[in-house]
């Protein structure tokens, strides 16, 4: 495909001309790209000869390096190498199967043709829903994050060609969207289109993809296209004031993207615009249902509970936390904590999934957490993790990391098959392949599919797995925080510039033993904050073999001392299997037990049960709380998992016969059995089978 970059070289970016001196360093780029803008008459970004040439490499998943209200600073993805262990298998599937196959799916389903058509390179009609451009951008973000862990030349070439095709579709005005073109062009940014048309949602994802790609490669091509949209099309025409039209996000996403764009360019207007969008614009008339569903359009700080479309709500919370990290607005912090309390007291599945309802892909009422009909969209669980990552940065409070871990290992991890080629859109906690809860499922009862016409979830999971190294650590003025545990090595630096290497050796999450080897470049006094998971009741921590006291579940244990090369920290967490019970207000979980071991939530699939032939359905099984539970690592099962075995009963008549009986139910037909439980994330990787997380207690 020919390079059409030069054709667009006339399009100016005005962003850099407004950059404040503090941000000069981030304006660097490689020379080849710079030359494109050399003759830009409107004032192109100029290279700053004082800047560090590779400063774009130092930004993490977010760039919080200058965020005044971020207690924790991110560590670059490239600074952490995840080695052979739990996540390496998932990341290998992500890079080796998921990202390439999703590329092919996107191309096959015309998502690139949508762009090429506008350049006269395709005659295919527009394909996919109104938000289809975002899938390309989110995939690009996944690639960008993946490339931060190491170059993949072929993937990079493919992506850069796609980026060129995307940018070539941008109009001279800066507008870029492949749906609102032709006879739909007059509808652009109309208020009714803003609520449903996803124009700014797409641009938000473009910006995130562009920033990730820039942080991987220094290539600003897509980033500058995003800046052109914002600077040339959006800011002059939309926003507060009588000379501009109003904005409603419709699907929140632009808010966090604008703030990350500010962090990348230093242009403060982006923060202000995000704040304006988070506040809502009274000029735009909205119905109550829209305000609920979209989770935008009224002041974010007037919200008191999570409601409406779960992904929208989570992304809005991400944007609002980003806004807090830059402004410190106490009303935002208060609201964010109110919403977080609502999340964890009323709305969070034990898998870390969120969004109970299929209708509106929405949050339910407090305690409305059905299992079979759970929506738990993969994107919503990811949004939940992204939000908690920002709350963690703002507070250094491990309660947010507990939510990150719960979502990541369970309700997000379940979203991609072990082979990386199929995906769950929704992530229920109970499933019957003969049922028809199949809006996103196939007729044979397979809940995982390689493609969805609304394919938001697959690239969202891809970007999350690709970003994973960036979630392992943070730094603060006091030292370094250790959030996640897996075999890995970090090579980064403390705030004073002292280099720091941390080696993790562990079989986490199967084992609760973790050995950290801490090696500062120069011996120095600082704190290593090791996370004690909330689920771990009993913990031991040793430094160089000597016990350290003070470990509390759900808190970071600061180990302040003078560290020298090859100092060790040994952590031992409580890996006893836990029987979880839900608040009695969760009606579907009443009298039921869920099993959790370490961060892993378990489930039973019917196909693993020795009595599967005798059971009409899973309703006949009840577990004996007294146990005992046996756990065993099975290396050949589901790429290697711990399996739990637990005593249970099977009532063969359960699930048969009439709906209602008067008096006590008969217990005559109960036979003892032993349940086999597998990690929830690994369900639905074999033939379709009934599954449940919450299993009735024999006593109930």
Give residues in contact with a copy of itself (CB under 8 A): 288, 292, 307, 344-346, 348, 350, 357-359, 364-373, 430, 432, 434-437, 443, 535, 537, 578-588, 590-592, 594, 596, 617, 619-620, 625, 651, 654-665, 696, 699-700
Q: Which two tokens stand for residue 176?
A: 């870029």
Minimum distance of a copy of itself from residue 152's CB (angstroms): 40
Minimum distance of a copy of itself from residue 598's CB (angstroms): 13
Minimum distance of a copy of itself from residue 299's CB (angstroms): 19
Q: Report the residue number, 84 or 442, with the smaller CB distance to a copy of itself.
A: 442
Minimum distance of a copy of itself from residue 625's CB (angstroms): 7
Q: Report the residue number, 41 or 434, with the smaller CB distance to a copy of itself.
A: 434
Minimum distance of a copy of itself from residue 281's CB (angstroms): 23
Distance CA 48, CA 571 (A): 46
Q: Which two tokens stand for residue 61?
A: 């998943």
Positive or negative torsion for Cα 248, 250, 255, 261: negative
Q: Rounded to a whole number, what is the largest CA-CA distance in the chain?
A: 87
Distance CA 158, CA 140 (A): 10
175 burial type by CB count under 10 A (0-12 exposed, 13-18 middle, 19+ buried)? buried
Minimum distance of a copy of itself from residue 618's CB (angstroms): 8
Q: Rounded to 5 degrees, what are φ and ψ at 611?
A: -100, 15
Minimum distance of a copy of itself from residue 343's CB (angstroms): 9
Minimum distance of a copy of itself from residue 592's CB (angstroms): 8
Distance set, CA 355 to CA 234, 294, 377 (Å) = 32, 14, 7
Q: Report the residue number, 280 or 308, with the smaller CB distance to a copy of itself.
A: 308
Minimum distance of a copy of itself from residue 394's CB (angstroms): 22
**Using an 8 Å Cβ cutoff, are 18 and 267 in contact?**
yes
Buried b / exposed e over 143-162, threshold 16 CB at 10 Å, is bbbbbbbeebeebbeebbeb
**Using an 8 Å Cβ cutoff, are 573 and 589 in contact?**
no
Task: Report which of 286, 384, 396, 295 is spatially closest to residue 344, judged by C-alpha positions.
Answer: 384
Angle value at C-alpha 232, between 29 and 129, nearest 5 degrees: 95
Cβ atoms within 10 Å, residue 182: 10
Minimum distance of a copy of itself from residue 288's CB (angstroms): 8
Angle value at C-alpha 113, between 452 and 146, nearest 5 degrees: 65
Q: Which two tokens stand for residue 412?
A: 């997000």
Distance CA 352, CA 378 (A): 10
Minimum distance of a copy of itself from residue 599's CB (angstroms): 13
Task: Report which of 337, 159, 318 is spatially closest to residue 254, judged by C-alpha positions.
Answer: 318
Q: Which two tokens stand for residue 289?
A: 């249902």
Q: Report the residue number, 419 or 697, with the smaller CB distance to a copy of itself.
A: 697
Q: What secondary structure letter does DSSP report for 514?
A: E
What is the edge-to-edge ordering of all strands in the sheet holding 80-82? 80-82, 488-493, 499-506, 513-520, 567-572, 540-543, 546-548
Tokens 């036979």, residue located: 671
Minimum distance of a copy of itself from residue 518's CB (angstroms): 32
Q: Report the residue number, 263 or 346, with the smaller CB distance to a copy of itself.
A: 346
Q: Report the residue number, 32 or 345, with the smaller CB distance to a copy of itself.
A: 345
CA-derived radius of gyration, the chain: 25
Distance CA 666, CA 445 (A): 32
Minimum distance of a copy of itself from residue 610's CB (angstroms): 20
Distance set, CA 116 to CA 139, 163, 219, 303, 324 (Å) = 17, 11, 21, 42, 39
Q: Report the residue number, 265 or 347, with the smaller CB distance to a copy of itself.
A: 347
Minimum distance of a copy of itself from residue 454's CB (angstroms): 15
Helix (H) or strand (E) holding 493: strand 488-493
Task: Report which of 152, 62, 61 is spatially closest to residue 99, judged by C-alpha positions.
Answer: 152
Q: Report the residue number, 55 or 536, with the smaller CB distance to a copy of itself.
A: 536
Q: Could you tell me the end-to-end alpha-carbon distance of the chain, in angstroms, rounded to an integer?
A: 66
Q: Which two tokens stand for residue 586?
A: 């969760």
Positive or negative torsion for Cα 683, 350, 254, 287: positive
Distance CA 615, CA 391 (A): 45
Minimum distance of a copy of itself from residue 606's CB (angstroms): 13
Q: Report the residue number, 107 or 372, with the smaller CB distance to a copy of itself.
A: 372
Minimum distance of a copy of itself from residue 424's CB (angstroms): 18
């Amino acid at each position: 495909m020919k390079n059409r970059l030069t054709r667009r070289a006339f399009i100016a970016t005005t962003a850099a001309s407004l950059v404040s001196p503090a941000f000069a360093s981030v304006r660097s780029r490689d020379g080849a790209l710079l030359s494109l803008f050399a003759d830009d008459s409107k004032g192109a970004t100029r290279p700053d000869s004082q800047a560090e040439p590779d400063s774009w490499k130092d930004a993490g998943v977010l760039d919080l390096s200058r965020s005044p209200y971020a207690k924790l600073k991110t560590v670059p993805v490239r600074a952490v190498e995840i080695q052979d262990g739990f996540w390496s298998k998932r990341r290998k599937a992500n890079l080796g199967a998921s990202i390439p196959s999703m590329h092919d799916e996107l191309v096959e389903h015309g998502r690139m043709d949508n762009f090429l058509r506008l350049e006269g390179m395709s005659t295919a009609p527009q394909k996919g829903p109104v938000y289809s451009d975002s899938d390309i951008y989110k995939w690009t973000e996944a690639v960008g994050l993946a490339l931060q862990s190491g170059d993949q030349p072929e993937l990079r070439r493919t992506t850069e060609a796609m980026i060129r095709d995307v940018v070539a579709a941008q109009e001279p005005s800066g507008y870029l969207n492949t749906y609102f073109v032709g006879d739909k062009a007059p509808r652009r940014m109309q208020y009714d289109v803003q609520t449903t048309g996803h124009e700014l949602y797409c641009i938000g994802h473009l910006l995130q993809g562009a920033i990730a790609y820039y942080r991987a490669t220094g290539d600003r091509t897509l980033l500058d296209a995003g800046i052109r949209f914002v600077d040339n099309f959006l800011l002059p025409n939309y926003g507060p004031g009588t000379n501009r039209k109003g904005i409603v996000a419709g699907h929140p996403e632009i808010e966090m993207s604008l703030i990350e764009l500010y962090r990348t360019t230093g242009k403060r207007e982006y923060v202000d615009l995000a704040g304006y969008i988070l506040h809502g614009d009274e000029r735009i008339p909205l119905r109550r249902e829209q305000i609920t569903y979209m989770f935008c359009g009224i002041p974010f700080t007037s919200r008191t509970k999570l409601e409406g479309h779960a992904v929208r709500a989570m992304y809005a919370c991400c944007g609002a936390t980003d806004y807090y990290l830059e402004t410190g607005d106490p009303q935002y912090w208060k609201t964010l904590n109110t919403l977080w309390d609502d999340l964890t007291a009323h709305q969070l599945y034990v898998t870390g999934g969120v969004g109970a309802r299929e209708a509106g892909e929405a949050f339910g009422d407090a305690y409305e957490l059905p299992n079979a009909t759970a929506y738990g969209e993969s994107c919503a669980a990811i949004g939940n993790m992204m939000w908690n990552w920002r709350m963690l940065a703002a507070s250094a409070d491990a309660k947010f990391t507990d939510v990150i871990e719960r979502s990541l290992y369970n309700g997000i991890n379940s979203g991609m098959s072990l082979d990386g080629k199929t995906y769950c859109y929704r992530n229920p906690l109970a499933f019957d392949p003969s049922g028809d809860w199949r809006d996103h499922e196939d007729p044979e009862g397979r809940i995982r599919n390689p493609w969805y016409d609304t394919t938001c979830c697959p690239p969202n999971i891809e970007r999350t797995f690709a970003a994973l190294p960036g979630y392992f650590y943070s730094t603060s003025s006091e030292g370094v925080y250790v959030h996640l545990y897996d075999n890995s090595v970090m090579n980064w630096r403390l705030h004073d510039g002292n280099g720091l290497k941390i080696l993790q050796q562990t079989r986490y999450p199967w084992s609760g033993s973790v050995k950290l080897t801490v090696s500062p470049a120069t011996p120095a006094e600082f704190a290593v904050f090791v996370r004690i998971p909330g689920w771990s009741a009993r913990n031991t921590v040793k430094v160089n073999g000597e016990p350290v006291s003070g470990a509390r579940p759900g808190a970071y244990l600061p180990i302040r001392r003078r560290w020298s090369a090859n100092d060790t920290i040994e952590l031992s967490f409580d890996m006893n299997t836990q029987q979880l019970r839900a608040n009695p207000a969760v009606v579907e979980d009443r009298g039921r037990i869920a099993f959790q071991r370490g961060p892993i939530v378990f489930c039973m699939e019917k196909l693993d049960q020795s009595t599967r032939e005798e059971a009409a359905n899973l309703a006949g099984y009840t577990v004996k709380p007294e146990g005992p539970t046996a756990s065993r690592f099975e290396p050949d099962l589901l790429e290697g998992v711990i399996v739990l075995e637990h005593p249970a009963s099977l009532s063969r008549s359960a699930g048969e016969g009439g709906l209602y009986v008067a008096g006590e139910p008969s217990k005559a037909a109960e036979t003892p059995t032993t349940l086999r439980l597998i990690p929830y994330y690994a369900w639905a990787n074999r033939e379709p089978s009934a599954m449940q997380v919450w299993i009735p207690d024999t006593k109930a």
